[in-house]
Amino acid sequence: MSKILFKKQLSKDVYMMRLDAPLIAEERSAGQFIILQLDDDYGERIPLTIADADTKEGSITIIFQVVGKSTLQLSEKNVGDIIPTLVGPLGKPTHIDNFGTVVCVGGGIGVAPLHPIAQALKKAGNNVITIIGARTKDLIILEDEMKNIADEFILCTDDGSYGRKALVTVPLKEICERSPKPNMVIAIGPPIMMKFCSETTRPYEVFTQVSLNTIMVDGTGMCGGCRVNVGKEIKFVCVDGPEFDGHKVDFDNMMARLNSYKELEREAHSCFLEQEIKDKEALR
Amino acid sequence: MSHHTHEQLAEEAKKLIAEYLYKIDDMKAKERTKIPPQEMPAQDPEIRSHNLDEVALGYTMEQARIEAMRCLQCVKKSCVDDCPVKIDIPRFINHVAHEEYDQAVGVIKEASLLPAICGRVCPQETQCQANCTVGKALKDVDKSVAIGRLERFVADWERATGKIAIPEIKPETGKKVAVVGSGPAGLVVAADCRREGHHVTIFEAFHKLGGVLRYGIPEFRLPNDIIDKEIDVLKAMDVEIKTNFVVGRTRKLTDLMDKDGYHAIFVGTGAGLPMFMGIEGENLVGVFSANEYLTRANLMRAFDKGHADTPIYQSKNVAVLGGGNVAMDSARMAKRLGAENVYVVYRRTEVEMPARKEEVAHAKEEGIQFSFLQNAKKILGNDKGRVKEMQCVRYELGEPDASGRRRPVLIPNSEFILNVDTVIVAIGNGSNPLISQTTPLLNVNKWGNIIVDETQKTSVNRIFAGGDIVLGAATVILAMGEGRRAAAAINKMLAEEIEKEKTAMN
């Protein structure tokens, strides 16, 4: 059970919340995630990355995008509301070390989980280059926070409405061509973006770590719903990950698996929206 | 097997009562073995394959008494020897025969805390009922005294009276015991340690208690209401409960002792990562582990499509790989969720199947199709990465292997295509890696199962373990047996410490 302490809308469909969770705040490290549920009987379990934590306040920060019924319901919760199920921190923490030069690439909402990792890398003495990108200006989040950490900061949008008009892979390629090339790349964002970041760095043989957000039920190594092909092995995102070598991840299979319930979810989402509209009309 | 209705069976039993009751204490063994074994009333297969209500309805009072009269009260008590928790079976059965149900409850509860659950899910035919003298005399284990059904009857009777006895609790000792996982092993440890007066906290990763009893075993075999009632007893005993707490992650195992002051820990985290076949196409959309499929349906209530937010795959033709109880549960659940054809694909034959006979019989009645001596070779997908069909191969039985079961031998060039859109893999689980990943001092074997001694103690002082995390995939009752042993060891350890502390004070 956790209380919402703070809520802010970051862009059209993106929200930030601080949740009361002293134990998770104390134990969590960069790269880990939580699972929450809005109803103990019928709710769905939603895995979300921990964007930040405050041990003094005993809180964690989550940032999420409204993509379906459950995230829409979450976005409608307000300060003081209770989230009945909150469990974590789950997944293995990011391995933080002084690697040298690290490029942190964040796409859309992926900037949220990237932020604590970039922060920790900076603290460990790395030269941090940050590339953040989104489809359009409105979807850029945490710009200042990322800028503050970065030794070099690049912002781009697909439509050129803000920063450079480019996909994140374009500056990433340029950086890989530098001499010396970067020691490591961390890419977090939509699967397709992580796939193409991995493809971009592959010819340069720059180790590229991606953070996967697959379908999950328990999140503790029991259901196997989160499995992905990594190299020739089957790996479980919740206990072996969420971070993997992007050059080995079978992104096409992962994307297909992410769409397992698309039809059903779309149905649920639109039913829910219709009901909401009806309810609102009834109130008028 | 033709279906007898509840009413028919009840009527039959009433007649038998009239015939036998007057000589209840006055029958020779031979006469007792002639009393007809009582069939378990069950929902009509056609109806039940579309609902989640419990399949087996439970004996009527007359049926229970008749069945109890079949017991010879033999001196040998091989049933007790074969019971993992050593319930005094003949004694409780004798009470049932004499309509002394509260006494029957008392006898069972001396040994088992969760009779309503064990009566439903224990594999009695390989345990207490395996060497029953009546079954032996009739040369048919299926005609052994139905101990499990009688145990269930007694537990259900107690629940129906609405006054479940709360075990007596000794004065508070000030010692704290942490129980990690609320499955069958953990529940037993919690109760046994609390009874000794220790403070007990159960830590559960999920939002609901019960572990595999809740997420794994379907409602139609073990209703949630029954698990809730058993857990209510623990709550009434003042066992502290912390859900949504992943020991290893929310708190390190050793921190429970070092930071939170627990004096002993029991690890009962259960089964872990599901095993897959290692065949092509296993990551296609539409391939599920039984764990995932059943958790969605049971714990997340996806069967209740109108209410649940957790989706479940819409299937027409389903293949379930495996031959255990979990495979039966998956197949029968798939049917209830609307699948038209459900095939259980098993490499050996029905005789070698590890599933309980009763579950197999129920599955058959519900229209589950069994494909014996077949196995999946690869799963084929469409252009969207979804399961389109499955290529299978055929086997024949060869020489017996180490387990004594005849080894299945591949028939060359026997490939054929099974038309399915969903594949559920139910071939077992590995161990859960969470605790061992985050507790380096804990010794595990090469499969990741925690190594324990004969008292369930691990390589780390004060930490005990039991159930599937030790045994690999086993049964509810074996987990309970381990929990019982661990609790005894914990209680003994703490009692000795209390004694020492007292001596030191004087």
Q: How many helices (H) and strands (E) does chain A have?
A: 9, 16
Q: CA-to-CA distance for B91 and B109, rounded, in angstroms?
A: 12
What pLDDT, on the 0 to 100 scale, is given for residue B184? 93
Q: Measured in Å, how far apart are chain B's first and last C-alpha atoms? A: 71
Q: Domains of chain B: which residue ranges?
A: 6-161, 176-272+430-505, 276-427
- The residue among B386, B375, B371 whose CA lies nearest residue B415 is B375
DSSP at A94: P
Instruction: Provide the chain B residues 31-50 that lie in CB contact (below 8 A) with chain A.
Output: none
In angstroms, the Cα distances linking B179 to A42, B121, B202, B236 are 27, 23, 5, 17
Q: Is B285 in contact with A217 (Cβ distance < 8 A)?
A: no
What pLDDT, on the 0 to 100 scale, is given for residue A270? 66
Q: How many helices (H) and strands (E) does chain B have?
A: 20, 16
Write out residues in chain B with pLDDT < 50, as ranges.
Answer: 1
Pick from A89, A218, A265: which is nearest to B205 by CB?
A218
In contact, A96 and A120? CB cutoff 8 Å: yes
Chain A and chain B share a number of CB contacts under 8 A equal to: 131
pLDDT above 80 (res A269)? no
In contact, B220 and B53? CB cutoff 8 Å: yes
- Residue B176 token pair: 């704290």
What pLDDT, on the 0 to 100 scale, is given for residue A278? 66
Q: Is B274 in contact with A223 (Cβ distance < 8 A)?
A: yes
Q: Is A253 in contact with B385 (Cβ distance < 8 A)?
A: yes
Q: Is A268 in contact with B309 (Cβ distance < 8 A)?
A: yes
User: In chain B, what are the helix, strand and coil shares in percent, each to the nearest 5?
Assistant: 40, 15, 45
* Cβ neighbours of residue B451 closer than 8 Å, sequence gap 6 or more: B443, B444, B445, B458, B459, B470
Instruction: Provide the chain B residues 394-423 that lie in CB contact (below 8 A) with chain A.
Output: none
What pLDDT, on the 0 to 100 scale, is given for residue B432? 83
- Please name the residue that has the structure tokens 């959309």: B285
- Residue B117 token pair: 């659950």
In contact, B187 and B114? CB cutoff 8 Å: yes
Q: Starting from the edge strand earliest in sequence, which strands make up the sheet with B176-180, in order?
A: B240-242, B199-203, B176-180, B264-267, B463-465
Instruction: Provide the chain B residues 249-288 that lie in CB contact (below 8 A) with chain A.
Output: 249-251, 270-274, 276, 282-286, 288
- The residue among A188, A191, A210, A208 whose CA lies nearest residue A255 is A191
By the CB < 8 Å criterion, does A45 face chain B? yes
- The residue among B216, B243, B242 whose CA lies nearest residue B227 is B216
Complex ipTM: 0.89
Q: Which residues on chain B are in Cβ contact (under 8 Å) with A261?
A: 311, 313
Main-chain phi, psi angles of B243, to 5 degrees = -90, 175
- Please name the residue that has the structure tokens 């038309």: B419
Q: What is the distance of C-alpha A162 from the center of its chain? A: 21
pLDDT, one tens digit per residue, over B195-211 is 999 999 999 999 999 99
pLDDT, one tens digit per residue, over A234-245 is 999 999 989 999
Q: Is B300 in contact with A253 (Cβ distance < 8 A)?
A: no
Pick from B244, B291, B309: which is nearest to A44 by CB?
B309
By the CB < 8 Å criterion, does A234 face chain B? yes
Instruction: Provide the chain A residues 73-92 that lie in CB contact (below 8 A) with chain B.
Output: 84-90, 92
Q: Domains of chain A by range and CATH?
A: 2-90 (2.40.30.10), 101-211 (3.40.50.80)
Q: Say yes or no: do domains B176-272+430-505 and B276-427 share a fold.
A: yes
What pLDDT, on the 0 to 100 scale, is given for residue A280? 61
Pick from A38, A43, A265: which is nearest to B311 by CB?
A265
Instruction: Provide the chain B residues 159-218 that lie in CB contact (below 8 A) with chain A.
Output: 205-208, 215
Query: What would the 3-class secondary structure string for B431-456 be?
Result: ECHHHHHHCCCCCECCCCCECCCCCC
In contact, B187 and B212? CB cutoff 8 Å: no
The CATH H-level (homologous superfamily) assignment of domain B276-427 is FAD/NAD(P)-binding domain (3.50.50.60)
Q: B396: helix, coil or strand? A: strand
Of all residues in chain B, the percent with pLDDT exceeding 90 is: 75
What pLDDT, on the 0 to 100 scale, is given for residue B372? 95
What pLDDT, on the 0 to 100 scale, is given for residue B350? 93
Q: CA-to-CA distance for A157 and A143, rounded, in angstroms?
A: 12
In contact, A75 and A141? CB cutoff 8 Å: no
pLDDT above 90 (res A184)? yes
pLDDT, one tens digit per residue, over A192-243 is 999 999 999 999 999 999 999 999 999 998 899 999 999 988 999 999 989 9
The CATH H-level (homologous superfamily) assignment of domain B6-161 is Alpha-helical ferredoxin (1.10.1060.10)
pLDDT above 90 (res A160)? yes
Main-chain phi, psi angles of B464, to 5 degrees = -115, 160
What pLDDT, on the 0 to 100 scale, is given for residue B2? 66
What pLDDT, on the 0 to 100 scale, is given for residue B186? 95
Average pLDDT, chain A: 91
Of all residues in chain A, the percent with pLDDT exceeding 70 is: 93
pLDDT, one tens digit per residue, over B375-408 is 999 999 999 899 999 999 999 998 888 878 788 9
By the CB < 8 Å criterion, does B246 face chain A? yes
What's the burial of A247, exposed, middle or buried (CB within 10 Å: 0-12/13-18/19+)? middle
Domain B176-272+430-505 fold is FAD/NAD(P)-binding domain (3.50.50)
By the CB < 8 Å criterion, does A268 face chain B? yes
Q: Is A239 in contact with B437 (Cβ distance < 8 A)?
A: yes
**Nearest residue of B to residue A264 by CA position?**
B311
Q: Which residues on chain A are in Cβ contact (under 8 Å) with B246?
A: 87-88, 90, 220
Of all residues in chain B, the percent with pLDDT exceeding 70 is: 100
Q: CA-to-CA distance for A189 and B490, rounded, in angstroms?
A: 48
Q: CA-to-CA distance for B198 and B174, rounded, in angstroms?
A: 6
What pLDDT, on the 0 to 100 scale, is given for residue A166? 94
Sign of CA dihedral B168, B174, B177, B178: positive
- Residue B136 token pair: 């032996």
pLDDT above 80 (res A276)? no
What single-letter amino acid sits at A87? V
User: In chain A, what are the helix, strand and coil shares in percent, each to the nearest 5?
Assistant: 35, 30, 35
